[in-house]
């Protein structure tokens, strides 16, 4: 407990204290200006979009990994963990290499919102896949066969039988991806450019010595992250019963 | 469901195309760019004094953070799963452990400055005794420990819950002390969980940038890790990414992919053990 407090709790408390150190009015002023609001809006929108795309594509990838067989499947399975192992700054760099200036395929997304989305999809890919995969493995196929023998089309079976079973896993994976996206810095540091992502605005504030402004934005960001965390626990508890 | 061959194939194609465009191709291009001007050029960028010192510092941070978080992680998992603490207490501990996952690394760096930096809560006490934490290596160590803290707990706790405590009780009935029970019964049964957690911790410790960047003085040769070196070299060339940047990235990627291979190995062992 002491270790936790020294390493985690005291520093985070210091941020909250710093944010309101010059009074609530100053705290509010640091949030209620165009730059901070823009940063929050862009960060939230990008994170929501990433969570949504990630949910669809992650479920698809998990489906193919569980239900399909093809040569090289083990390799693809291992590839999913790559974003967890690869340092985020390298992840950002790989995307510049392919989709930046001097792109060998002629697509230049560098310093645009598109680049931010692609980078976030890269680093959050494993969340949905790794949370849906085990549920899909455990799923009782006899129910699907029963549905099919009763005349349900594949689309109906998927929507009525498979999807409801996967929904908590997809949701918790997407929520993790969302939480990660809100705070992501490493992979965006090289490619975000002038796109005002919250973590980058906070970094710029720290560098220019405006610690109070940085702390205020941090507090809002942490609150959003905490709400997501508690939502996750609530879903976890509900599924557990 | 009897899925038609066509649907199966198109789902497979979409998946593989997505993974190729998002993961495989970008990584391949970085390797290609690194060795574009020959292996010699790439090697010379990896062996500059700044790069060598960055490599050692990166490894040093991991070597300190990983054992600390492993010991803490196993302990915390024991408290969470086996401990007799009240439920509310456990729930709070459980939530706090996840904080490093959901708080932005940049915020973690800021938090450390506010506590251990000049004018911070404890910073001046340390500075007066000649210990500089922020903008120096100790701060970078604390930042690395912070961001990589949850992995071992999160891997070990479910395994502990799954193996149950029957064998531990049997050991206790046969007269084993709680210390003996832990070393002879508990630890062997959770060892793959611990191993996987250690690998994840290592990967994160090696690759951390946000938190470490904020608390480092970013001086080449003393307070640069490999990720920071990549960031600094990229800034120096003004975003026109050159071989120097790619070479450092490849060096770091090779180390991390080594860790990934270990991860897959442990992953498959864990599944067999279950």
- Tell me the per-residue pLDDT of B142-199, one tens digit each, with 9 for 90 and over: 999 999 999 999 889 988 988 888 888 888 888 888 888 888 888 888 888 898 889 8
Please check whether residue A76 touches B, CB under 8 A: yes
Closest CA to A228 of A178, A185, A184, A183: A178
Structure tokens at A198: 């919250």
Rounded to a whole number of angstroms, the distance from the CA of A34 to the nearest CA of chain B is 21
Please check whether residue A68 touches B, CB under 8 A: yes
- What pLDDT shows up at residue B266? 67
Rounded to a whole number of angstroms, the distance from the CA of B208 to the nearest CA of chain A is 7
Query: pLDDT band at A224, cuts 50/70/90?
Result: confident
What is the Cα–Cα distance from A30 to A20, expressed in whole angstroms?
A: 10
What is the Cα–Cα distance from A154 to B1, expressed in whole angstroms?
A: 6
Q: What is the mean pLDDT of chain B?
A: 85
The residue-averaged pLDDT of A168-173 equals: 87
Please check whether residue B254 touches A, CB under 8 A: no
Rounded to a whole number of angstroms, the distance from the CA of A27 to the nearest CA of chain B is 16
For tokens 């083990």, name the residue.
A74
Q: Do A64 and B15 touch (CB under 8 A)?
A: yes
The whole model's pTM is what? 0.87
CB contacts, 8 Å: A17 with chain B = 114
Choose the mutation target among B106, B225, B226, B240 for the interface with A, i.e. most A CBs under 10 Å: B106
- What pLDDT shows up at residue B46? 86
Q: Do B253 and A226 touch (CB under 8 A)?
A: no
What is the Cα–Cα distance from A89 to A179, expressed in whole angstroms?
A: 19
What is the SS3 assignment for A135-178?
HHHHCCHHHHHHHHHCCCCHHHHHHHHHHHHHHHHHHHHHHHHH
Please check whether residue B197 touches A, CB under 8 A: no
- What pLDDT shows up at residue A50? 95
B249, closest residue in chain A (CA to CA): A90
In this complex, the residue of A64, A203, A228 whose CB is nearest that of residue B11 is: A64
Query: pLDDT band at B269, cuts 50/70/90?
Result: low
Q: How many contacts, defined by CB atoms under 8 Å, are there between A and B?
A: 242
Q: Do B110 and A211 touch (CB under 8 A)?
A: yes
Q: Do A60 and B14 touch (CB under 8 A)?
A: yes
| Residue B274 clears pLDDT 50, i.e. is over it | no
Q: What is the mean pLDDT of chain A?
A: 84
Structure tokens at A84: 């967890």
| Residue B40 clears pLDDT 50, i.e. is over it | yes
Query: What ipTM is given for this predicted complex?
Result: 0.84
What is the Cα–Cα distance from A167 to A61, expressed in whole angstroms?
A: 15
What is the Cα–Cα distance from A239 to A67, expressed in whole angstroms?
A: 24
Neighbours of B1 (CB within 10 A): 17
Closest CA to B146 of B64, B78, B220: B64
- What pLDDT shows up at residue A192? 77
Q: Are A51 and A181 in contact (CB under 8 A)?
A: yes
* Helix and strand numbers, DSSP H then E, in chain B: 15, 0
Rounded to a whole number of angstroms, the distance from the CA of A210 to the nearest CA of chain B is 11
């Amino acid at each position: 407990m002491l270790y936790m407090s020294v390493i985690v709790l005291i520093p985070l408390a210091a941020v909250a204290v710093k944010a309101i150190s010059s009074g609530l009015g100053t705290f509010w002023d640091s949030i209620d200006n165009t730059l901070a609001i823009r940063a929050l809006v862009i960060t939230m929108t990008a994170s929501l979009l990433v969570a949504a795309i990630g949910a669809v594509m992650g479920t698809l990838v998990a489906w193919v990994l569980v239900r399909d067989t093809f040569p090289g499947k083990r390799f693809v399975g291992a590839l999913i963990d790559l974003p967890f192992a690869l340092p985020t700054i390298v992840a950002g760099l790989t995307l510049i290499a392919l989709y930046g200036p001097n792109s060998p395929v002629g697509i230049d997304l560098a310093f645009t919102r598109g680049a931010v989305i692609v980078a976030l999809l890269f680093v959050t890919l494993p969340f949905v896949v790794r949370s849906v995969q085990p549920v899909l493995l455990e799923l009782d196929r006899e129910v699907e066969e029963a549905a099919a023998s009763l005349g349900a089309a594949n689309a109906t079976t998927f929507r009525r039988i498979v999807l409801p079973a996967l929904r908590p896993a997809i949701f918790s994976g997407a929520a993790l991806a969302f939480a990660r996206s809100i705070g992501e810095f490493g992979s965006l540091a090289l490619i975000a450019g002038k796109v005002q992502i919250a973590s980058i605005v906070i970094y710029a504030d720290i560098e220019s010595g405006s610690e109070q402004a940085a702390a205020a934005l941090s507090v809002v960001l942490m609150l959003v992250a905490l709400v997501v965390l508690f939502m996750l626990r609530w879903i976890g508890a509900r599924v557990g019963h | 469901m009897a899925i038609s061959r066509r649907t199966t194939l198109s789902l497979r194609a979409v998946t593989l195309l997505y993974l190729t465009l998002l993961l495989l191709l970008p990584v391949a291009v970085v390797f290609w760019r690194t060795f574009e001007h020959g292996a010699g050029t790439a090697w010379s960028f990896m062996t500059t004094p700044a790069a060598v010192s960055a490599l050692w510092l990166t490894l040093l941070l991991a070597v300190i953070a990983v054992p600390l978080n492993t010991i803490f992680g196993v302990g915390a998992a024991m408290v969470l799963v086996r401990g007799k603490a009240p439920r509310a207490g456990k729930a709070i501990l459980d939530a706090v452990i996840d904080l490093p996952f959901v708080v932005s690394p940049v915020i973690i760096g800021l938090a450390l400055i506010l506590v251990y930096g000049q004018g911070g809560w404890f910073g001046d006490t340390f500075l007066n005794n000649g210990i500089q934490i922020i903008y120096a290596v100790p701060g970078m160590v604390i930042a690395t420990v912070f961001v990589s803290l949850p992995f071992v707990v999160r891997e070990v706790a479910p395994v502990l819950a799954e193996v149950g405590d029957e064998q531990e009780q049997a050991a206790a009935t046969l007269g084993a002390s709680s210390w003996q029970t832990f070393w002879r019964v508990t630890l062997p049964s959770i060892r793959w969980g611990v191993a996987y957690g250690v690998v994840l911790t290592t990967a994160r410790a090696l690759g951390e940038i946000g938190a470490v960047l904020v608390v480092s003085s970013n001086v080449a040769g003393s307070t640069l890790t490999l990720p920071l070196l990549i960031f600094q070299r990229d800034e120096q060339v003004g975003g026109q990414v050159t071989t120097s940047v790619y070479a450092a990235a490849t060096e770091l990627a090779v180390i991390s992919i080594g860790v990934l291979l270990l991860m897959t190995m442990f992953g498959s062992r864990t599944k067999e053990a279950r």
